[in-house]
């Protein structure tokens, strides 16, 4: 089974609303990363949070990390139609530099 | 020019054929990865490499092999293609010591008939 599991699998919101996606993982990590993918294209890195960090911001993105619960969340504030995409978390394992992806959340932002 | 370039972009091949997917990067990163993506399953790691002398199996390496010809080049081979290897394949590089994530190629859409 995959290291990272995202929740929900799909999310539909109105433009202007906030979108929250969650990621849970199983083993000790060096860092956790979030990516975006538009319709079968290459993934684009959004933000990286290290295991000793609890929260990080980048523009309209806010990521939290709770290593005790082995979970992370990605919040996109004031969503736009252009945010429609699939979002993936990826965990960089502590000991080996493996980068393992979850199954993703499909976000639809309705205009 | 793209930072991570995959060739070919699309390929249709027959069952039993050997096929090679190529990846080259201009980022200067040591770490390179090959993933496959199937609908609803996210990305699964096939192989990863830290340098030309270091190759590691990922989650689903059976039926695949790789070659790291140089720091900038990492090739994925399907020795004898089968239909359930039909998927979208991605190459990626990374250097997260600098706080950056991975850089992905545009993908190779492979169909095995």
- What is the per-residue pLDDT for B98? 63
Q: Which of A6, A21, A27, A43 is the best mutation test for B, with the most CBs of B within 10 A?
A: A43
- What is the per-residue pLDDT for B99? 66
| Closest of B105, B37, B44, B112 to residue B75, by C-alpha | B105
Beta-bridge partners for B89: B36, B108
Mean pLDDT of A64-93: 96
Average confidence score pLDDT of chain A: 92
Query: Are A101 and B90 a contacting pair at CB < 8 A?
Result: no
| B96 reaches A (C-beta below 8 A) | yes
pLDDT in tens, B65-99: 999 999 999 999 999 999 999 999 999 998 766 66
Mean pLDDT of A28-46: 91
Q: How confident is the model at residue A1 (pLDDT cuts 50, 70, 90)?
A: very low
Q: How far apart are CA B80 and CA B18, in angstroms?
A: 5
Q: DSSP for A48-109?
A: EEETT-SEEEETTEEEEEETTTTEEEEEE-S--GGG-EEEEEEEEETTT--EEE---EEEEE
Nearest CA in chain A to B41: A103
End-to-end CA distance of chain A: 36
Contact between A79 and A16 (Cβ < 8 Å): yes
pLDDT in tens, B5-44: 999 999 999 999 999 999 999 999 989 999 999 977 789 9
């Amino acid at each position: 089974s995959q290291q990272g599991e995202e929740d929900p699998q799909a999310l539909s919101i109105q433009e202007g609303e906030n979108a929250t996606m969650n990621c849970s993982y199983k083993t000790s990590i060096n860092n956790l990363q979030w990516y975006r993918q538009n319709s079968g294209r290459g993934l684009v890195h959004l933000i990286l949070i290290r295991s000793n960090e609890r929260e990080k911001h980048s523009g309209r993105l806010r990521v939290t990390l709770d290593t005790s619960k082995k979970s992370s969340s990605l919040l996109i504030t004031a969503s736009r139609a252009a945010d429609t995409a699939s979002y993936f978390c990826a965990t960089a394992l502590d000991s080996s530099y493996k980068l393992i992806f979850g199954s993703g959340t499909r976000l639809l932002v309705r205009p | 020019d793209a930072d991570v370039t995959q060739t070919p972009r699309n390929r249709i091949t027959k069952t039993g054929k050997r096929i090679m997917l190529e990846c080259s990067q201009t980022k200067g990163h040591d770490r390179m990865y090959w993933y496959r993506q199937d609908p609803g399953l996210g990305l699964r790691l096939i192989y990863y490499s830290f340098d030309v002398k270091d190759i590691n199996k990922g989650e689903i390496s059976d039926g695949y092999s790789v070659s790291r010809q140089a720091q900038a080049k990492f090739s994925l081979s399907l020795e004898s293609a089968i239909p359930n290897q039909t998927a979208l394949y991605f190459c990626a590089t990374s250097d997260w010591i600098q706080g950056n994530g991975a850089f992905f190629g545009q993908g190779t859409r492979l169909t095995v008939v």
